[in-house]
Structure 1
Amino acid sequence: YKLSVSPEMDIMEYCRKEWRGNTPVAKRMRKGYEAVAQKFASIRRVRGDNYCALRATLFQALSQATQLPSWLQSEDFAMLPENLLSKYDWIKQWQLKQKLGRKMGEISDEIKEYLILLRKKWKNISEIKDPIEKQEACDKLFKNEEEEYSLYEALKFLMLNTAIELYNDDKNGRRVPVFSWLLFARDTSSNPCQLMHNHLNHIGHSGGLEQVEMFLLAYALQYTIQVFRLYKYSTDEFVTLYPNDPEEDWPVVTLITEDDRHYNIPVRMCQETML
């Protein structure tokens, strides 16, 4: 069974293995990796399927979790699927991960299970004080395919919930972040129902996360996702933050990408490098 997050290796060693030649692209990538290596000593490769962005973000969030985020603590968190389905009939078209012998009827029960699993895992891992034990618990979780993929379903549903909130806020004249306009300005996602049909239902199957959906993921988790985009080295987009104007109290997770599709994880911060 292939590890979904492989063991760490020295970041420059990884770079030398991946980018040998003297093409302009290889040179730029090496420069990018050198810049990241000022801050992080190692890299962990993340399995490159269409769940990659969700996997890398969740793995980083859990690896450094010391408490349960406030949205996971709310009383009615587990009631979310039921509440949304009672208002929006179209959510019945949510594509659950392929599992044999499921009765279609109770979508809300199934998603509820995933949300409860997410809360349970987050709580358990955040309560582990010893960093080595915490890392082992994360590694173990990401070796359990059944649980791992259930957590991605939970994240996708939270993204849908966040999209619905933003859409309604905008319709009611409240201020929404700029990415929300961009999200709903796409022909394929002019409202949350289309977003679900044309985008969220495909994440993990036939497509990954587009950039505007990285913003949505960040808002759903209330985390700032900081990404070193290596192919943008020496431009002002080399280090991109989702969202660009993060809330003060949101924790930060850091990812690396060479192409905005496949994300890896930098680990072992060299010195406390503040945002």
Structure 2
Amino acid sequence: MLQPKARKAASPSFTSDEKVKRSTFSLRLTKSKKEKHMSHDKTSLPNAGPSYKGQPASVAKEDGARRRARPQTEVPAVFRRSRDDYSRGEVKVSSFSSPVGSSVDHEEEEEDIYRDVDEIEREREWLVCGTGAAVSPGNTLSVAPEVDILDYCQVEWRGSTSSAKRMRKGYEAVSQRFISIRRVRGDNYCAVRATLFQALSQTLQLPDWLQNQDLMLLPEKLMAKCTWITEWQKLPAKAENWTEEMKACLLLLKRKWESISEKKTLAERQAACDALFRGEEEEYSLYEAVKFLMLNTAVQLYEDNQKGLEVPEFSWLLFARDTSSDPFQLMQNHLNPLGHTGGLEQVEMFLLAYALQHSIHVYRLYKHGTDEFLSLYPRLPEAGWPEVILITEDDRHYNIPVRMCEETSL
């Protein structure tokens, strides 16, 4: 007689045998209005807010994040802009750009609906100069220990609203594959942190692109053709110049990746990641390296398109935005603020995937019951790319599902 299936942990394996219908993720471009407390306008795809969510308040959430209605705009079939203009930095920088630490207006209440007033104030007090990362003196872990995913859902979504019910169904669906969840620190590095943590904790060998001898030459090569790179907003400089500092960040990424990949078990790799992701200088240096790799990838895509070569579909949208019509504006308005006053938008998740050469799979809980419940970046994964699986409630904050289930019939 067939009995109900029992959930038990299986050895971690991130295959593409999904039981949830994969997203077709229709890409559309929208415009958003200026937000005074951010350093750039967060123009995004539908239902995609900035990747920022503070740690949940003590009370249960009743509703999902409120999203502003945004006017639609046409997406140009191709983008064409003078390569000479952007290589000299002689392009019009978006008026949305503003200094880091600009004043916060009444809209902050809408952006911070997940946190109470005391928590927001504590975050301001913990702000680390130069990193824009809120680090609590009493909680240095950037990725919290795992908890049962259904227990987590029960605490977070006890409400009776339609949003709460949808979230519970979403968590129940994910629990068919994963037993536990690890909550990621909710600052503006959230998407990068969750992706990199997963990539490192699952790695079995140093990726080919990190073994490339030309890796350390990338900062000098990019500086030679893009003089505006000197406007990169970076960590407090300790090297003599920008290229040396970025080389140090890339070398750190390579060494840490290689060291963790040599660990024999998943438990050892996760312990090594826990020791690395503690809100200290090394962690943020890794994010600088990732941001640089994203910019370098964007420059390559832009130049390939200028030459008439085939480029991924997302790159058209990446450079079709008013705030990133070329790599210079992308750096100024999106990558510079990343981690400081802004997170990743949906289209930039594709760029992150290409920069790290990992396929990012995201369970979007508020999309449960639709074709976009499971979204893939890129939509058609590249052959041989490892998978990174994340979970989000609102496209703003990302957590990590862990411990895959093994379903058995008795």
Confirm or deny a common fold (TM above 0.5): yes
Aligned partners of 1:153 and 1:266: how far apart in 2? 25
Match of 1:22 in 2: 160
What pairs up with 1:119-158 in 2 under 5 angstroms?
A: 119-143=254-278, 145-158=280-293
Shift of 1:131: 2.0
* 2:340 paired with 1:194: no
Alignment partner of 1:231 is 2:366? yes
- Counterpart of 2:234 in structure 1 is 96
CA-to-aligned-CA distance 1:118-140 (integer Å, 9 cap, x gap): 00000000111122211111110
| Aligned pair partner of 2:314 in 179, 202, 218 | 179
Which amino acid in structure 1 is aligned with residue 331 of structure 2?
M
- TM-score using structure 2 length: 0.64
Residue 245 of structure 1 and its aligned partner are, at CA, apart by 0.8
More helix per residue: 1
Give the letter for the 1:135 counterpart.
Q
User: Are the equivalent residues in 1 in contact too, given 2:238–2:245 (CA < 8 A)?
Assistant: no
Shift of 1:87: 1.3
1:41 aligned counterpart, secondary structure: strand
Q: Which residue of 1 aligns with 2:218?
A: 80
Alpha-carbon separation, structure 1, partners of 2:232 and 2:406: 44
Q: Does 1:203 align with 2:341?
A: no
Q: Which residue is 1:243 aligned to?
A: 378
Deviation at 1:109, TM superposition (A): 0.7
Distance of aligned partners of 1:103 and 1:13 in 2 relative to their CA distance in 1, 3 Å threshold = closer
CA distance in 1, matches of 2:398, 2:386: 19
Structure 1 stretches of 4+ with a deviation exceeding 6 A read: none
Aligned partner of 1:13 in structure 2 is: 151
Stretch deviating more after TM superposition (126-135 or 204-213): 126-135
Q: Distance in 1 between matches of 2:216 and 2:238?
A: 20
The number of residue pairs the alignment matches comes to: 269
Q: What amino acid is aligned across from residue 230 of structure 2 in structure 1?
A: K
Residue of 191, 198, 206 corresponding to 1:68: 206
Shift of residue 105, structure 1, vs aligned partner: 5.9
Partner Cα distance (1:202, 1:134) in 2: 30
1:51 to 189, 196, 200: 189
User: Partners in 1 of 2:306 and 2:239 — Cα distance?
Assistant: 32
Tell me, in whole angstroms, the C-alpha distance in 2 between the residues paired with 1:204 and 1:96: 11
Q: Please, what TM-score do these two structures have when normalized by structure 1?
A: 0.96
| C-alpha distance in 2 between matches for 1:53 and 1:36 | 19
Structure 1 residues 259 and 267 mapped into 2: Cα distance closer, same or farther (>3 Å)?
same
1:164 aligns with 2:262: no
CA shift in 2, pair 1:221/1:145, >3 Å: same
Partner SS, residue 189 of structure 1 = coil
Q: Which structure is richer in relative contact order (CA contacts within 8 A, separation 6 or more)?
A: 2
Moved more, 138-147 or 27-36: 138-147
- Gapped runs of 5+ residues in structure 1? none
Gaps of 5+ in 2: 1-136
